[in-house]
Amino acid sequence: MSLTETREPLLKGQRALVTGASSGIGAAIAKALAAAGAKVVVNYAGGAQRAQTVVAQIQANGGEAMAICADVSREEDVEAMFVQMFAAWDSIDILVNNAGLQKDAPLVEMSLADWRQVIDINLTGQFLCSRAAAREFLHRGIAPELSRATGKIICMSSVHDVIPWAGHANYAASKGGVSLLMKTLAQELAPQRIRVNAISPGAIKTPINAAAWSTPAAEADLLKLIPYRRVGEPDDIAQAAVWLASDASDYVTGATLYVDGGMTLYPGFDQGG
Ligand code: BGC
């Protein structure tokens, strides 16, 4: 039966883990995956209360979720998180590598600690979680009643995997790294039917960039960089994640989906060169 003929929820029975899901884009993805029928682990590193709120919102909507605390940059935390998830739900079908942060500074003022923390969480965290998920996908094999793929990994990147960003060298380097980590894993794991893709958001209204949109003057400035002339919402990204997690995108692997209102279209050139 084709997907357009089926009335089942797109992700029915699938088990998802979303890192950094206590706020912003991660919280929206967790809720959207649950609304599409998946059981969802809401991972968080700080802010247990906010993670519990996301879990409660999913449950109130008739979904299944649990919060697990783990710092994705710490190998022992990541391993323990997967053990806890498998103890409850046996396995994993969808990993969303979303956890990330910014520690902005001009190059000459950037500390090694801030460089390392951003690379550790934004890039090494994606390596550690992808490795743990892929080991389980390979061990378990395909479950045709759940999905055509053995497993799906979605990596949260950024428009700054292609747009250089002065004052954010650590962040841009981490996202450039995510881009080739994703493509390399996609190439390596495709024969086992594991799909690996990325979403590169533009400016989305979340706490990470509140300074860029929370006053009318800042928002007007930001809109000059967005041809579509609206700042994105977390749900713009969440809907893309549901599609990439589902069999509707079964022939898509190694792709980066720019969900950015045209931010990567060189808006500075809209009046000629
Ligand atoms: C950053 C935001 C920024 C956006 C567009 C994102 O990756 O986290 O702070 O607003 O890129 O520049």
pLDDT value of residue 222: 97
Does residue 35 form part of some domain? yes
Separation of 37 CA from ligand 1 center, angstroms?
29
pLDDT tier at 4, thresholds 50, 70, 90: low
Per the residue annotation, which of 44, 171, 251, 258 is the catalytic one? 171
Any atom of ligand 1 within 6 Å of the Cβ of 168: no
Does residue 3 form part of some domain? no
Spatial separation of the C-alpha atoms in residues 155 and 164, rounded to whole Å: 19
Mean pLDDT calculated for residue range 157-175: 98
pLDDT value of residue 3: 65
Does residue 4 form part of some domain? no
Any atom of ligand 1 within 6 Å of the Cβ of 163: no
pLDDT value of residue 79: 98
Does residue 250 form part of some domain? yes
Q: In which residue are the tokens 């599409």 written?
A: 36
pTM of the model: 0.97
Does residue 273 form part of some domain? no
Contact (Cβ atoms closer than 8 angstroms) between residue 30 and residue 235: no
Give the residue from 88, 188, 174 showing the smallest Cα distance to 131.
188
pLDDT tier at 273, thresholds 50, 70, 90: confident
Q: Is the pLDDT of residue 270 over 60?
A: yes
Mean pLDDT calculated for residue range 51-71: 98
pLDDT value of residue 5: 67
Question: Which atom of ligand 1 is nearest the CA belonging to 200?
Answer: 7
Other CB atoms within 10 Å distance of the CB of residue 38: 30
Q: Is the pLDDT of residue 1 over 70?
A: no
Mean pLDDT calculated for residue range 22-35: 98
> What pLDDT digit, counting tens, does each position of 99-114 carry?
999 999 999 999 999 9
pLDDT value of residue 123: 99
pLDDT value of residue 195: 99
pLDDT value of residue 52: 98
> What pLDDT digit, counting tens, does each position of 172-206 carry?
999 999 999 999 999 999 999 999 999 999 999 99
Report the number of distinct structural domains present in the chain. 1
Any atom of ligand 1 within 6 Å of the Cβ of 212: yes
pLDDT tier at 122, thresholds 50, 70, 90: very high
Does residue 65 form part of some domain? yes
Q: What is the chain's mean pLDDT, rounded?
A: 97
Paired tokens of 190: 């495709």
Spatial separation of the C-alpha atoms in residues 269 and 127, rounded to whole Å: 36
Any atom of ligand 1 within 6 Å of the Cβ of 203: yes
Separation of 248 CA from ligand 1 center, angstroms?
28
Helix (H/G/I), strand (E/B), else coil: 245:
helix
Return the CATH number at 166. Answer: 3.40.50.720
Any atom of ligand 1 within 6 Å of the Cβ of 158: yes
Spatial separation of the C-alpha atoms in residues 81 and 68, rounded to whole Å: 7
Separation of 31 CA from ligand 1 center, angstroms?
22
Does residue 269 form part of some domain? no
Does residue 271 form part of some domain? no
* Domain residue limits at 187: 15-261
Q: Active site includes 171? A: yes
Higher pLDDT, 178 or 270: 178
Q: Name the residue with the closest Cα to ligand 1, atom 5.
A: 203
Any atom of ligand 1 within 6 Å of the Cβ of 232: no
